[in-house]
Amino acid sequence: MKGFRTVSILILFLIVLSAFAALSGILSDRGPGSFEHESIRGEVIDIYGKGVYQHMSKELAVQGIAQDYVTLLLGIPFLIYGLILAGKGSYRGRYLLGGVLAYFLVTYLFYTMMCTYNQLFLVYVILTSLSFFALTITLISFQLERIPALFKEKTPVGLIGGFLIGQAVLIALLWLSIILPPLFDGSIVPREVSHYTTLVVQGFDFALLLPIAVVSGILIMRRRPYGYLLAPVFMIFLAFLMTALTGKVIGQMRVGVDVGPALVIIPLMNLIAIFLSVMILTSIPRARAY
C-alpha cells in the first residue's frame, strides 16, 4: 500500500489519543452532578454535571459515553486489524481500514463541533486531523482502474446501492421531521437544539454524509470505479456508526428518554449494514494489493 508508513504513523497517534479521549469520557466523574439549566431560549435543560461532558445535556452526554465505549472496544481494535491486513497487501484490509478511519473522522469531527467546550478540545481537533489525512492517503492509494475487477459479477450491487440510498432517505426524513414543524408553526428552533447553538449532526448529515451515501449507492449500482471504491468504505463506516447509534439509543433509554421509532429502526439498520459489510469484504479475494 502506497503511503503505508505515513498512514501507520498517523494511526499510531490516532490510537493513543482516541483511547485517551474515550477513557476520559467513560471514567471522568468530577463535577456537581445533574442539575437544571435555563437555556437562552427559556427552556429548562437537564445538565449531566459530571466528567468531561458535565456541561452537556444529560441526553447527549450519555450518548457521548456510549460512543466512547464503541470507539474503545470496537473502533480501535478494528483499526489495528485493518492496518495489519493493509500492511500485508490485503485489499480487504485496505477497505476495512478506510471504513474505520471514516468512522473516526466523523466521530471526532462531531465531537469537535458539538461537545460543549472542555479540556479535550485540542485532542478532538488533532484526532479529526489525523483521521482525515490517514483516510485520504488510504483512499488515494487505490488504483481505480483495477478496483472493478476485484468484485465478482454477481456481487449484489443493487442491494448495496439500494440500502445506501434508502437509509439516506430515511435519515433525511427523520431529520426533516425535527426541522420542519418549528418552521411551519413559527417557533423556528426545534426542541432538540437544547442549549446548543445549532443542529450539528443534522447539518453535517445533510451537507456531507447523506449526499455521499446517495452518490456512492448510485455509482456502485452503475458499476462505476468510484462506486466500487466509495460504497464499500461507506458501508463499513455505516456499520460502525450504526453500532455507536445503537449504543446511544440504549444510553438514552437508561436515563428515561423516549427514543420512539429509533428503538427499532437504528438496530435494524445496524444489522443490515454489518451484514452487507461482511458480504462485501468476503466477496473481495485475498489477493495482495501490490
Question: How is the chain split into domains, by residue range?
Answer: 4-283
- Helices 91-114 and 4-27 cross at an angle (nearest 10°) of 40
pTM, two decimals, is: 0.94
The yes-or-no verdict on residue 287 having pLDDT over 80 is no
Decide: residue 49, CB within 10 A, 0-12 exposed, 13-18 middle, 19+ buried: buried
Supply the pLDDT for residue 262: 80
Per residue in 72-81, pLDDT (tens digit) is 999 999 999 9
H/E element, 266: helix 262-283
Least confident of 183-192, 222-231, 258-267: 258-267
**Residue 19 near residue 65 (C-beta atoms within 8 A):** no
Least confident of 86-95, 117-126, 252-261: 252-261
